[in-house]
Every structure is written in structure tokens, then in C-alpha cells.
Structure 1
Amino acid sequence: MFQYILGIPAHPLIVHFAIVFVVLLVAGSAVYALVPPVRRRTGWAVGLLAVAGPIAAWVGTESGEQLEKLVVAQGYPQEFLAKINQHVTYGDRTWYFSLGLGAATLLLIFVSTAIGKRPAAEGDSRRGSLIANVGLGLVVLVLAGFTGYYIFKTGDTGAHLRWVDFAQK
């Protein structure tokens, strides 16, 4: 399913969707968490990215697994395969962290939207809602940091495989 597009391995083409959507998710979720005044205008876009980013990352890892099988079948040297394995590890972590970031971002959107729509009852300080909002914001920021790190490491190791290690083979 994710092996070839127009006769070439699909991974180099598909992975660019993951790069774009995951990086936009990292940036959008961080802005959403840090700048409450923009939430009303950006919530829908960040919500879409919270779904699209992890899906794109998963499709990227699946296409990468197909490419890895192709490279193994072609008998590449063990040291090259070890570098591919490191790239795969970073790709898997990118997917896991983007999935967590997407879920936490959707929860933050839900909580922050619910706070804005809830009428203030007499004697209600909304303290619990504020704590949940700030706490989720911090979780989103931490997950955005890890996701950003792993998308960078995945891309960096993949680029080195293509442009440095593969070119020397």
C-alpha cells in the first residue's frame, strides 16, 4: 500500500506530508497553549492539525517500513542498516509523541472552549478550570518540545542516509 508511487519508493514523497503537518502541529499547539487571545480564531486549525499530524506521521512510518524491507532485500551493508534502524527509531518516536501531542491539544481545545462558554455561577471562581487549562497547556508545551526534537532527528538522520551515506555506497 505504501511501497511505490509512480514506480519509485513512496517514502521520500509521503514523508514530506508528515514533516509539514507535524511541524505545523508543534507550532500551532505551542501558540495555542501560550497565547490565549488567539485561541478563538485558531482553534479549528489547530484541531485539524492535531488530527492530521499524527496521521501523516503514521503514514510516514508505514511507508518507511516498506522502504526498509526493500533496502534489506537488496543486501545493503550492516552499518548502513544500523543507521536505517536509528532513523526508524526516531520516526517511531515522532509518531508516538505527535499522537500524544494531538490528543493533549484536542483536550486543551475542549477545556479552553468549555471554560469560555460556561457561565460563571455565583461563588464560582473557575479555579479548577483554570488549573486544568494551565496544566494542559504545560503538557502540550512539553509534548510539542519532544515532538519537535524527534521530527528534527528523524529528518536529519534520513537526510544523512540519503545524501551522505547512500551517496558513498
Structure 2
Amino acid sequence: MFDQLFDLPAHPLLIHAPIVLLPIAAILTIVLTLKPAWRRRAGWFPFSGVFVVTVLLFGAKESGESFTDAFDSAFGEGAIDIDRHEELGNMTFVLTLVWLAAMFALTMWEAVQRRGATDASGTTDTALTPSPYVSYGLSALASLFAVLATIWLIRTGHEGAEVVWSPVVPQLFPEG
């Protein structure tokens, strides 16, 4: 399923969406952490954006595994050493999943706050009384994992580029 797109290996094509969108979503997460009023107005949009990034990252990860399998079958097992790239990619995905979970918890918490924590009889449930500290903590956690996912994404991309281009660069730029 993740092998080819338009008769080309899917991985080099699928990686570009998360490379562009993940840092944008991270910046949005940080801005909305600093501007809680904007975050409350945004509703489910920030969570949805991180969800889309997570789905795209999953596609990039799976296509990378398919690409490695195809490369190994064409050129022999271990013909290209991408173990470090794969480890970093897996960690990027895990960090993004934690970020997604934090965004979900934050969005749900704030949705409960907006609706008011009332039970069936119409009385306020003091156990769910709105607390700004929960929102602050969840948004800080989401921002932390957004930054970590961005850092690991950059590390993953750099490692992948080194594996692909390091053997070729001396031939392309012999003086440098």
C-alpha cells in the first residue's frame, strides 16, 4: 500500500507533507499555549491539525519501511544502512503521538470547561470545576512534545539525507 506513488517510490514523496506541516503545527501549538483565548476560540482545529500531521507521518514511516524492504530485495539485505534513520523516525512518530494525546486531553478539558461541569440535575459538579492550571499544564505539555517532535523530525530528515547523499556529494562537489 505504501510502496509506490505514480510509479515512484512513495517514501521520498510522502515525507514532504510532514516535513512542512509538523513544524507549522508545532508553532501553532506554541502560539496557542501563549494565547489561551485564541486556543479556546480555535476549538478542535489545533487537535485536528496535529491529527492530520500524525496520519501523514504514519504514511511517511510506513512508506519508508516498504522502501527499505524493496531496496533490500533489489540490492541485498543491508545494502544500505538506515537503522539510525529508522530509529529516529520511530521516535518522531512516538513523540507526535504523545503530542496528539496532549492536544486531545487539552481540547477535551477545555470543551468540558466551556459547557460547564453540570450534572443531570443542573447543579455544578465541583470535581470538574474549571481550573486554569490544568489547561496551562496540558498546553505546556503539548508544546513540549511539539518542540521535541520537531527536533526529532529534523534529526530524522538529516540522517536520511546523509545516508542517501553522503556517497554522492564528493562526486558532485569535488572541490569541497
Matches of 1:46 and 1:165, distance apart in 2: 40
Structure-1-length-normalised TM-score: 0.82
Identity, % of aligned pairs? 24
Does the 8 Å CA contact 2:88/2:152 hold for their aligned counterparts?
Answer: yes
Matches of 1:168 and 1:64, distance apart in 2: 26
Residues 139, 40 of structure 1: alpha-carbon distance in 2 compared, 3 angstrom cutoff? closer
Matches of 1:119 and 1:94, distance apart in 2: 36
Structure-2-length-normalised TM-score: 0.79
Matches of 2:137 and 2:169, distance apart in 1: 47
Matches of 2:101 and 2:7, distance apart in 1: 36
Does the 8 Å CA contact 1:101/1:140 hold for their aligned counterparts?
Answer: yes
Equivalent runs, 1:1-150 vs 2, <5 Å:
1-75=1-75, 81-82=80-81, 84-118=82-116, 129-150=131-152
Residues 36, 164 of structure 1: alpha-carbon distance in 2 compared, 3 angstrom cutoff? same
CA displacement, residues 108-151 of structure 1 (integer Å, 9 cap, x when unaligned): 122123323428999x7x87622211111221122112111111
Q: Specify the structure having the higher radius of gyration (Cα).
A: 2
Aligned pair 1:151/2:153, yes or no? yes
Residues 44, 166 of structure 1: alpha-carbon distance in 2 compared, 3 angstrom cutoff? farther
Residues 149, 66 of structure 1: alpha-carbon distance in 2 compared, 3 angstrom cutoff? same
Does the 8 Å CA contact 1:9/1:67 hold for their aligned counterparts?
Answer: yes
Q: Residue 66 of structure 1: CA displacement? A: 0.7
Aligned partner of residue 44 in structure 2, secondary structure: helix
Residues 118, 137 of structure 1: alpha-carbon distance in 2 compared, 3 angstrom cutoff? same
Residues 75, 15 of structure 1: alpha-carbon distance in 2 compared, 3 angstrom cutoff? same
Matches of 1:41 and 1:156, distance apart in 2: 36
Matches of 1:165 and 1:38, distance apart in 2: 48
Deviates more, 1:17-26 or 1:150-159: 17-26
Q: Residue 69 of structure 1: CA displacement? A: 1.1
Q: Residue 41 of structure 1: CA displacement? A: 3.8
Matches of 1:30 and 1:76, distance apart in 2: 44
CA displacement, residues 60-87 of structure 1 (integer Å, 9 cap, x when unaligned): 1000001111222233695x733x1111
